[in-house]
Structure 1
Amino acid sequence: MAWHLENIPDAHAVVNFAPTLLEQLADYNQQLKGRFKGTGCLKDPLLLALDSPVQPAHIEDRRQLINACLRLNDEKLVQPFPAFAKLAEIARWALEDADRLCYVNDQCLIDMLVWYHLAWMGESVKRNDVRIQALMNKARQFSFHDRRQLMIVIGELLDGLIPRYKKLAELGRVELSVTPYAHPILPLMLDINSTLEAMPDAPLPVHKCYPDGQQRADWHMEEGISVFESFFGFRPAGCWPSEGAVSTEALALIDRHGFKWAASGENVLRNSLRQSGLDDNAIHKPYHLPGQKLACFFRDDGLSDLIGFTYTGWTADDAVSDFVHHLSNIQATTDDDKDRVVSVILDGENAWEYYSYNGFYFLQSLYRRLAAHPDIELTTFSNCLTKGHVKPAELPVMMAGSWVYGTFSTWIGDEDKNRAWDLLTEAKQAYDEVMAEQNFEPETQAAIERQLAICEGSDWFWWFGDYNSADSVSDFDRLYRLHLSNLYQMLGLEVPQKLSETISLGGAGAEQGGTMRRGN
């Protein structure tokens, strides 16, 4: 994504970083630097296997490694490479019968590991790095030297990524924004009953209030800003609240922390406009709540979901022409509004796995066509408010919701999701009791507080429910219960027996693996 913006001077975009992602990037970077110096070890099992001179001997370890190497889009990331496609065919055959795994030799595992990392490599790197091109041309029988070359490239990319975005921000080509520290759903943390504003009949967890939710929400905001500043050296003007989840209280919180803008989903705005007795088609402009300076922009669900889901099967030129056509229609219907802004917002990474060539041709064509269009100005939210002199309209009533369907149904209101909320609330109650009685060393207290924050993240609740694949749900179910168990142990408490019990089993496969939802 950085490469496209670096190579098209008139392109502009807002790029949001969750603070935990920044920390993860830094952690991986340090792991690789330590490994190259011989002073550290790798924690990621696939990188560890890629770097290891010895492959796993046990059948179950081999099965897990092969399964992990098959976790990518087969049509777009496997089949275009004949050598990888043949390996995947062999791997799937071997996985059908455990006895067959005995005959999968180390070279087969090594070649799968190399191709897995090559397939996920950014398209700009595949096209411009001669080391990666040499590996792709070799295609098979990769040596330890080949693997080390691949590790060096990965290390360079990790080391240079944040500085590249920082430079883009300094040049004014990109605006960087931030999310609350561990990606919590702020409105639910502040008031679980806000669920009922858009879902009046939704069942709620047994515990109807998250303890000290206001204090915890403030902590995530402050910590998020602090982590962002430590990486980029400046305070962000914009906040993308996790999953675009907002409410009156959440926007007041964001405003109080000094942000100039936030953003959410189209259905949140439509619900709020209807509740306010206003035209619910007036979606292409920012709004502010009475008494607040904070401007809130709202996602055009139709345009955003076309990129996220529909255009994956189109040719790049046809998709971009269709996109520009839709923008021209919006222009024609909003010609009398000098404050019009079209907000296209989607997950920054998830869509491109489903595009040919990792979205390379689509993104190149999209940015170039929009940058050159006489009636369209690529911009950022801050520039809209300052250089563009866009004035937010007043929105009398804000109905709580998120960018997914305009509700919180992806995170609460389902039996499994509600159970997860109750487990979190009970862990928080235990945390409060211990913290009131004990004085931990500052470093220990900070570690416990961070562990609680991880448990408060939104993604756990996202995956629970029968509309996600069983494999993905199983992974997140296990990790969530492990994190809650770690919190109890860090507090010096016995782990409750109920954390040994599965929360959710999952069900049918979700669109695009469940990593994204449509706005509508």
Structure 2
Amino acid sequence: MKLVLCWHMHQPEYRDLQTGEFKLPWTYLHVIKDYVDMVAHLEAVPTAKAVVNFAPILLEQIEEYAKQVNSYLHDRVTMTDPLLAALVDVSIPANSEARLKLIRDCLRANRERQIDRYPAYKKLAEMAEWLELHYDALMYVNSQFLSDFLVWYHLAWMGETVKLSDSRVKSLIEKGTGYSLHDRIEIVEIIGDLLANVICRYKVLVKKGQLELSVTPYAHPIMPLLLDLQTTQEAMPNALMPELAAYPGGEERVAYHLEKGVQVFKRFFGFKPKGCWPSEGGISAQTLKVLGDFGFEWTASGGSVLRNSLHLPENTVPACIHYPFKLKKTAIACFFRDDGLSDLIGFQYSKWHADDAVADFIRHLETIAATQPADAVVSVIMDGENAWEYFPENGYHFLSALYKNLSQHPAIELATFSECLKAKAVVKPLAKLVAGSWVYGTFSTWIGDSDKNRGWDMLGEAKAAFDQAVAGKCLSPKQLKAAEIQLAVCEGSDWFWWFGDYNPGEAVSNFEKHFRLNLANLYRLLGEQPPSYLALSFTQGSGAPAMGGAMRPGVEL
């Protein structure tokens, strides 16, 4: 039985494209923790195989970080990420508010797995939490406290394979306190090395035949919603809809994201990918046709999408998800995620001993192999970056055992999606599809809530202004290119993901501020004054979802 492990890597555009400042640090932090660890696990087991999907806008940000760190190390050019810049700043923030922000930034890590693991970092965190409650004491915070706090924050975010192999990291962890400017610059050097080499390491595994790389539309939009907002109601007939009846020019925008996404992918990897993981596994009949017409051989989505579709009277195929399917009148094979297996990794196994978790995972696979035809293909597709901070040692023991045991299993063959198709995997027919995503099989994470709908209405108004500027030929070629990229960023899925009161307050605030900034920047590029409502917050969060809300299960619990 073939098993495909597909890891999706993506971060939205965190830069203010008009100033170049990174508003949030998650891209470089996930590079040094997750992207390097994920490739290292494959390097350690040469007989293992996987599919890795990169969002193009993530690749561009990794490149920009690598350039900036290199410029700092060689010419002391200031980096535009405030947290990285603070790491090597020789001065302490002058006012209490700036100090408090920096302290809070250094607490944005998993308390159990990243902070409490290190006694020195835990002590600093406890002092920081006391300072949060005693604002007047911030004036007494000295540079050594902030230096040590910044160092430990970045050490905690280092990947486990880095901690085990880099003598510089080992030495800094052992030192524990009293970090100097030299120590802080050394951390930037380590970060620079990781940023500069991570993409090349994935390319090497492609050449070895161990890895298949796929792409996502450029800025990670939900394609079915750009093409037709009304597909929301295929899986949610009673969903509350935005005032916007349809996203204007959606087909052209989807084509833009696909064309630019492949262009960026080819610049980094040198070839056109055979597969496309549509943002959040979001598909519809029209989306599958567009992807097939674009030349992709395979795509994938959530198991709940297939289950919803198999309930339709038009579909008479057996209710088994462990095959690729091809929708009538389309030219692309679509694999469907085993939600149960994928969610065990994403939401359960972090609480288990690694050996027990891997044994349980393999038992589930053996059961499938014993009950399904020999030509079945099991697809485990999940977030490749956000799960691991909940595992001990960033999932090191789990992933090491997983690849080792799977690659040696006599009844399970690790494969890639393209290899499955090349080996003439049975592709089942599908007469009709219910549009949806890998989250619950619906689009409820991005539309149907009053705050999410408000976001769509704001985006639709900005798109109408863009169309008017283009029709009036008000923009030079350079201005048009900048406006197209800014619009693409506004169309990204992540902003809508976080809108809604069931999400954590800090995350909602960060993402909705950035969404409003992106829209305001677009209006300015068009030569217009941004609408006054963009100065006001329109959504707040107060929830505490599982895993901080950065991941969601495939099946609604």
Partner of 2:525: 490
In structure 2, the residue corresponding to 1:366 is in which secondary structure? helix
Partner of 1:244: 281
Partner of 1:174: 211
Q: Give the drift of 1:77.
A: 0.3
Partner of 1:157: 194
Partner of 1:445: 480
CA distance in 1, matches of 2:148, 2:358: 37
TM-score by length of structure 2 reads: 0.92
- 1:26-60: CA deviations, max 9, x gaps? 01001101111216321111100011111212111
- 1:160-200: CA deviations, max 9, x gaps? 01111111111111100000000000000000000000000
Partner of 1:265: 302
CA distance in 2, matches of 1:241, 1:311: 26
**Residue 341 of structure 1 aligns to which amino acid in structure 2?**
V
Partner of 2:367: 329
Alignment of 1:13-412 (within 5 A): 13-38=50-75, 40-275=77-312, 276-278=314-316, 281-334=319-372, 337-386=373-422, 388-412=423-447
CA distance in 1, matches of 2:354, 2:76: 46
Judged with a 3 Å threshold, the aligned counterparts in structure 2 of structure 1 residues 277 and 389 are, in CA distance, closer, same or farther, namely closer
Identity of aligned residues (%): 53
CA distance in 1, matches of 2:304, 2:548: 23
**Residue 326 of structure 2 aligns to which amino acid in structure 1?**
H
Query: Would you say the 8 A contact 2:490–2:519 is kept in 1?
Result: yes
Range 284-293 or range 395-404, more displaced? 284-293
In structure 1, the residue corresponding to 2:527 is in which secondary structure? coil
Q: Give the drift of 1:102.
A: 1.7
Query: Would you say the 8 A contact 1:270–1:280 is kept in 2?
Result: no
Number of residue pairs aligned between Structure 1 and Structure 2: 517
- 1:425-444: CA deviations, max 9, x gaps? 00000110111112423222
CA distance in 1, matches of 2:87, 2:535: 33
Unaligned runs of 5+ in 2: 1-37
Query: Would you say the 8 A contact 1:123–1:360 is kept in 2?
Result: yes
- 1:245-278: CA deviations, max 9, x gaps? 0000001111111101000000000111111343
CA distance in 2, matches of 1:440, 1:338: 58
Q: Give the drift of 1:140.
A: 0.7
Query: Would you say the 8 A contact 1:274–1:280 is kept in 2?
Result: no
Query: Would you say the 8 A contact 2:48–2:407 is kept in 1?
Result: yes
Query: Would you say the 8 A contact 1:18–1:181 is kept in 2?
Result: yes
In structure 1, the residue corresponding to 2:383 is in which secondary structure? coil
Matched, 1:473 2:508: yes
In structure 1, the residue corresponding to 2:377 is in which secondary structure? coil
CA distance in 2, matches of 1:396, 1:123: 46
Partner of 2:497: 462
More contact order relative to length (CA 8 Å, sep ≥ 6):
2
CA distance in 2, matches of 1:291, 1:492: 43
In structure 2, the residue corresponding to 1:375 is in which secondary structure? coil
Partner of 1:419: 454
Partner of 2:33: none
- 1:74-122: CA deviations, max 9, x gaps? 0000111010000001010111121121222110111010011111101
Q: Give the drift of 1:315.
A: 0.4
Partner of 1:514: 549
**Residue 371 of structure 1 aligns to which amino acid in structure 2?**
S
Range 364-373 or range 291-300, more displaced? 291-300
In structure 1, the residue corresponding to 2:52 is in which secondary structure? strand
CA distance in 2, matches of 1:40, 1:439: 36
Query: Would you say the 8 A contact 1:269–1:280 is kept in 2?
Result: no
CA distance in 2, matches of 1:239, 1:159: 25
Judged with a 3 Å threshold, the aligned counterparts in structure 2 of structure 1 residues 493 and 439 are, in CA distance, closer, same or farther, namely closer
Unaligned runs of 5+ in 1: none
In structure 1, the residue corresponding to 2:299 is in which secondary structure? strand
**Residue 554 of structure 2 aligns to which amino acid in structure 1?**
G
**Residue 86 of structure 1 aligns to which amino acid in structure 2?**
K
TM-score by length of structure 1 reads: 0.98
Q: Give the drift of 1:487.
A: 0.4
CA distance in 2, matches of 1:206, 1:441: 32
CA distance in 1, matches of 2:425, 2:267: 31
Judged with a 3 Å threshold, the aligned counterparts in structure 2 of structure 1 residues 408 and 280 are, in CA distance, closer, same or farther, namely farther
CA distance in 2, matches of 1:185, 1:85: 40
CA distance in 2, matches of 1:395, 1:186: 20
CA distance in 1, matches of 2:82, 2:520: 22
CA distance in 1, matches of 2:146, 2:286: 52
CA distance in 2, matches of 1:116, 1:37: 24
